[in-house]
Amino acid sequence: MLSAILSFMDAVTLARQLVDIESISGNEAAVGNYLYGELCRLGYQTMKMPVEGDRFNVYATSPEHPHPAVVFSTHMDTVPPFIPSSEDARRIFGRGSCDAKGIIAAQVAAAERLRQTGIHVGLLFVVGEERDSLGAQVANEYAASGQNSRCRFLLNGEPTENQLALASKGTLRVEVTATGLMAHSAYPELGESAIDKLIPALTRLRAMPLPSDPGVGACTMNIGLIEGGRAPNVIPDYAHADLLYRLVGPSDDLRRQIVSTAGDAVQVTFPLELPFLRLRTVDGLPTMIAAFTTDIPKLTNWGEPLLLGPGSIHVAHTDGEYIEKQQLAAAIDLYCRIAKQLLS
């Protein structure tokens, strides 16, 4: 069967079609159905891998090679809000254009180009990467059952400006909670302010020295959410903050330091950790350090991981998200080149 997606212009069209389907995390069914239909039309053996409710991953292989040694993967979901596609001579704009629907288009185009030369790779597109990596977890369970027993390499796509990542920083989510006693604000001595407990704890955490790795950079911390209180005239009985640390190594010492620094007036919990990873590279390609976290830590059963994709993480999640058409075209070539080198 002759391929319907071989040219760069076809990849641009596919990227825009994907961007125009709203797929904010939790609402990926429509874009999954579209991808499933397109991949079936191209002659792939394509399956919907149930995840949760009507959400599913899409996994496609060549019928004559159902157990590929190399799998291209990225995610179908986006962060809010939905922004439809547009383009000019240089760029494709819209939510997901670089994170990661343009990458999907490049991976499909590369798989098609490779297939024409007798090289067969798999395509795995998952849900939930922007929220909790639930799709990746389900895909890992699928792989653990032996369904992809010959898969040796996973080429994951995120916006790295077409540079191979030497490492990917990990993620440590921290929740800091304070409790108190409500009272009328005219009589603060009758209450106990949870906010007055939380603020000093956060101040100490902001000043706390963080580890660094000479080749990777520094661990960083962001206070992403603060909430608490009832009303301006009520002494607050509750206050809470969500923090996110970007890890550059193991977290055991950091966890102990966070608990000690926050102090006894607050409660500290760690609801999520994705580990710091060092990644495989390929000779002759430029490299970078990914300060962000990917699905890779949840896809351990899919072979040795690599990380590369077109687009810049600096414009991902912004109102002006875009992908350079030149980078999209170059990514198709790079995915083909890397697959060939891994299989040689």
Q: What residues act catalytically?
A: 129
Kindly report the length of the chain. 344
Helix 102-116 and helix 29-41: axis angle, to 10°?
Answer: 20
Pairing of strands 170-179, 122-126: unpaired
Q: How far apart are CA 112 and CA 83, in angstroms?
A: 28
Kind and range of the H or E run holding 329 = helix 325-343
Burial of 242 (C-beta count, 10 Å sphere; 0-12/13-18/19+): middle
Q: How far apart are CA 237 and CA 240, in angstroms?
A: 11
- How many helical (H) and strand (E) elements, i.e. helices and strands, does the chain have? 7, 18
CB 343 within 8 A of CB 152: no
- DSSP string of 140-204? HHHIIIIITTT--EEEE---BTT-EEEEE-EEEEEEEEEE-B--BTT-GGGSB-HHHHHHHHHHH
Name the residue type at position 278: R
Q: How far apart are CA 28 and CA 126, in angstroms?
A: 9
Triad 44, 146, 303: Cα angle to 5°: 80
Which residues have CB under 8 Å from 2's CB, separation 6+?
none
